[in-house]
Chains A and B, each alone.
Chain A
Amino acid sequence: MSTDTQKNGSQVPALELRALCKSFGGLQATREVTLRIMPGDRQAIIGPNGAGKTTLFNLITGIYPVTSGQVLLFGQDVTSWPSHRRTALGMARTFQVTSLFPKLTVLDNVLLAIKGLRPSKFVMWRFLSSYKEVYDKAHHLLEQANFLDRKDTEVRNLSHGEQRQLEIVLGLASDPKILLLDEPAAGLSSGESTEMSEFLMKLDPKLAILLIEHDMDVVFDVADEISVLHFGQILETGTPESIKKSPRVQEIYLGTD
């Protein structure tokens, strides 16, 4: 399962899934998923609707408890850890359905995201606005994403495309080492999703990315390796070229019989 970008055997994978299973009652949403992502890897998970892609993310980030199997982050078994502790190890994620803080300003959204891993998040006797260093960092992040002029806008007043971008800015705010992107281009126009993949390709090459996406242009731009998920199972893993040509993948997507 290792990619050609990282051949160093001694390196610890950023994320490793071992025979991960999840059942909701009788429904097996995730079956024996095994996956390994090395630092700097760009992997994508594709699959038809209901294949269990988002469920897989929810297992990795600790939103759902797993039924069986293991989740390892940077070599640590985090299977039973709550989400916030996994984040502290260097994991971040974005959501398919935009989940920002709608009534807070863009700046406050980013400040919250930066504060998440700092002990000073418990400070009650000092204004948040008095933390110069956090402020500067927020400015820097917003500048990178071209959001600086809209920093005092309430998030609910942003367009959908802008909210999708801010989703990623929030994901990057904690300086993660692995970023899980759940359909970053969902609901974007083709022009917007091109910008999205350009934005993603500009990210720090040391950052590992696991991407769920329906927009194949984005997937082929960003990912070096693609896994195909179908009924909760990984059917195939390979380079974008081999996946494109794979008859089984075509069968799933096009329903040839």
Chain B
Amino acid sequence: MANQQFKILIVAATLATLVLIVPHSGSFVVLLATRAMAFAILAMSVDLLLGFTGLSSMGQAAYFGVGAYLTAVLATKFHFGLGWDFWIVVILGILLGAALAALFGLFAIRAGGVYFLMITLALGQCVWGLAYRWNSLTGGDNGINMSGRPNFGLDLGNEVTFFYLVFAFFAVSMALMYVLVRSPFGQSLAGIRERELRMQILGYNTWLHKYIAFIIAGGFGGLAGVLWAQTNGHVSPETVVLTTSVDSLLMVVLGGSGTLVGAAIGTAIVFGLREYLSTLVPWWQYVLGGVYVLTILYLPMGLMGLLSGVRQRFGSQGKGEGLKKLATKPS
């Protein structure tokens, strides 16, 4: 337990450092951090499915996309969500993401493994197709340009103010998901990941648990989409494209699935590499590809796995005990 508190302290300290340093590091860094944090919420929602439930969703961009499009459509067509009603858009975005996941989950959750991946991919592409083709609503290939960020006493047009807001959403999302995965429900997801059949025999309706997890992940995806739209001021089919789903999945794998923090770290690294490398070399995508390949080959547990490996090496004194206990059996 003390170990757990220590981990929370480290994460809290890192977040505090971020919130102190980033605002004074120039507008480029502020914008980059804001974008990464909005996206990290999506990546953590993927981790909820991949790392904790054992479902590799390839269509998480769908919920991200509907959140983003909702924000853009409401802002441009209805002038809604530009003042305090921004908060209503946030709630609507979460609900829409969750509702879409509730619909898609009916199709996807019945399948497992690679089939689940294929179905979520196909459903994600449906949303992309809608975004691309439904010209009157989504602006087709051109997407939607938003005129500016909401202002409700707090002027979100100010990059630093907006950074604080997204940071708050990011931190709260992470805390909520942390509580979720440690709750009885979250542990049931881990059980399903490890051995679904056993869970059924223990009395769990595993379909329902997976379905609920899928809906929650969709809700967080929707939230990430709302923030993403406000960050960029522009929404296009690029937002919903398959690459977004794949990216979020790879970020989780890079950081270490089943850790939440790993998803955030993975997002930060990919965003950082992408922004900095793309200004340095034209072949930056190869670097990113190389990083992924190396991670999967040598760090199957991601960067967080590296950390826990180090911890185990230093805390391995307790190892012999398990063997000794072999001799003492119930009598």
Contacts and interface: CB of A to CB of B under 8 A. Distances in A.
Interface of A: 61, 63, 82-84, 87-88, 92-93, 95, 99-104, 108, 111-113, 115-117, 120-129, 131, 144-146, 149-150, 153, 157-159, 161-162, 165, 170, 173-174, 192, 195, 198-199
Interface string B53-96: 00000000000000000000000000000000000000000000
A199 B212 CA distance: 39
The 9 lowest CB-CB distance pairs between A and B, nearest first, are A116-B203, A116-B202, A101-B194, A87-B203, A83-B200, A146-B330, A117-B203, A124-B185, A99-B198
A245 B180 CA distance: 59
B1 interface: yes
B183 A101 contact: no
Contacts of B153: none
Given A83-B201, A84-B203, A100-B195, A162 B187 contact: no
9 contacts: A84-B200, A88-B203, A113-B202, A123-B185, A126-B184, A127-B179, A128-B183, A149-B321, A174-B203
Contact of B326 (A117, A123, A159, A195): A159
A82 B201 CA distance: 9
Nearest to B205: A84
Contacts of B183: 123-128
B216 to A, nearest CB: 8
A132 B186 CA distance: 18
A100 B198 contact: yes
B190 interface: yes
Counting chain B CB atoms within 10 Å of each CB, the highest count among A121, A145, A158 belongs to A121
A101 B198 contact: yes
A208 to B, nearest CB: 17
B184 A123 contact: yes
B42 to A, nearest CB: 20
Contacts of A122: 184-185, 212
B187 A115 contact: yes
A159 B321 CA distance: 12
A247 B262 CA distance: 64
Contacts of B329: 146, 161, 192, 195
Contacts of A145: 330
A120 B186 CA distance: 12
Given A112-B191, A159-B326, A99 B197 contact: yes
Chain B interface residue bracket vs A = 20 to 34
Given A104-B194, A117-B202, A146-B330, 4 more contacts: A100-B195, A100-B198, A127-B179, A146-B328
A116 B184 contact: no
Given A112-B191, A112-B202, A174-B202, A124 B186 contact: yes
B123 interface: no
Interface string B156-186: 0000000000000000000000011011111
B100 interface: no
A170 B202 contact: yes
A165 B191 contact: no
Contacts of A116: 199, 202-204
B322 interface: yes
Nearest to A131: B184
B259 interface: no
B173 to A, nearest CB: 14
B287 to A, nearest CB: 32
Nearest to B324: A149
Contacts of B187: 104, 108, 111-112, 115, 128
Contact of A124 (B180, B195, B204): B180
Contact of A127 (B182, B201, B325, B330): B182
